[in-house]
Amino acid sequence: MDEKTAIQLTLKGNPAALEWLVEHNQLKAVRAAYLITGDHFSAEDVVQEAFLDLPDLMRTFDANRPFEPWFLRVIVHRALRALTRERKWVQFPDLSEMDRIVSRWTNDQFSPETALQQRELETRMWNEMKKLSPEQRAAIVMRYYLGMSEEEMALAASVPAGTIKWRLSAARRQLRQLFQEDPRKD
């Protein structure tokens, strides 16, 4: 079975086809949801519910386009919505705090040569991610993990593109400070 067939059969109500779509799209979806929600079970909930709603959601899906980018946009949107509902990490970003933490990532001189250093990097980055607002976290995930363009990100997050640019810029600066690099290099 290929993706197009799976989509067509899913629209006809074939459970094996829907299961195929789940099997082939679940991992990236649940990982992206986890990076946004920060919670294993919330991430599973988001993805599970999205799959359960898929027959309805697919009424608006253009079957001539690839499934995964569309579905991941759905996941991001729902992960954000779930956080808004749960209000776990939601905190309005403090600009002065962000300026202090900002700009540490992409120009950092850091070479994790051992597994331990890599693990340390992951821990530090994850801790910094948790300090971001959900929207900023979503922006990072969409841009760097899912490789979305800013226009795609805007649609996924249901906000105007300009807003996403601000979120991404703020988040990127904040994360860069993880490595205490020159924040002027944007």
Partner 1 sequence: MKMNEEMIFSTLDAISAREFPQGYNLLHQPGKKAKSIFGSSRRVIALGLITLLALVLMAFVLYRLFSDPGLGAAHDAGLGSTTKQTAQSTLLPATATLPYAQKSPAVLNLAQTQQGVTLTLEWISLSRTRLIAGFRIENLPDGQTIGMPTVDFSDISVQQYRGRLLQFYDSPVQTAEFTSNQVIGVDENSAPVNLRMEVPLEDLSGQTLGTFAFDLKGIPADSDSPASGQFTYSARVDQQEVRLEWLKIGLAGSSALICYDNGSTSPVLSPENVLFQVNQPEGKISPVQTGTDMKGVSAPEGQSCAVVSAPITLNTGDLQMLVGLNHLGAQEGTWQMAAQPSERGPFSEPLRNSPTPQPTMSSQKLGELTANLIWAYADTNRVAMEVHFDGWNVNYSVGEFTVKDASGNEINSSYGSTIVGNDAATQLMTIYLDQTGQPTQASQVDLGVDVPVYDLNQSEQPLASFHFDLHLPVYPAQNIKADQKITANGIEMQLIDLSLTPTYTQVTLCYQKPPSIGTNFDWWMGQGVVLQIGSNTATLDGGRLLSDSDLGGYAGKGTPPADLPTISDGRCVQLGFPIGDLDSSEPQSLELTIPKLEISMPEVVPQEEIDAANEKLSEKGMHVQYQTLSASGGGGGGFVFTQKPVGMNDQQAYETLLEALGYEYPGPWKFSVTIPGR
Residues 79-138 close enough to bind partner 1 by CB under 8 A = 105-111, 118, 121-123, 125-127, 129
171 binds partner 1 (CB under 8 A): no
Query: Could you say which residues in the range 40-59 bind partner 1, by CB under 8 A?
Result: 40-41, 43-45, 47-48, 51-56
CA of residue 37 relative to chain centroid, distance: 9
Closest contact distance (angstroms) between CB of 32 and partner 1 is 7
Q: Which of 2, 15, 96, 116 binds partner 1 (CB under 8 A)?
A: 15
The total number of residues shown for the chain amounts to: 186
Least distance (Å) from partner 1 to the CB of residue 95?
Answer: 22
Indicate the residue type of 154: A
The correct pick among 69, 165, 169, 183 for binding partner 1 (CB under 8 A) is: 69
The answer to whether 39 and 144 have CB atoms below 8 angstroms apart is no
The two most distant CA atoms of the chain are separated, in Å, by 55
Task: Pick the binder of partner 1 from 2, 62, 87, 92 (CB under 8 A).
Answer: 62
| Cα 23-21-147 angle, rounded to 5 deg | 90
Q: The tokens of 163 are what?
A: 């807003």
Nearest CB to partner 1, comparing residues 51 and 170 = 51
Tokens of 15: 């459970």
To partner 1, the closest distance from the beta carbon of 47 in angstroms equals: 6
SS3 18: helix
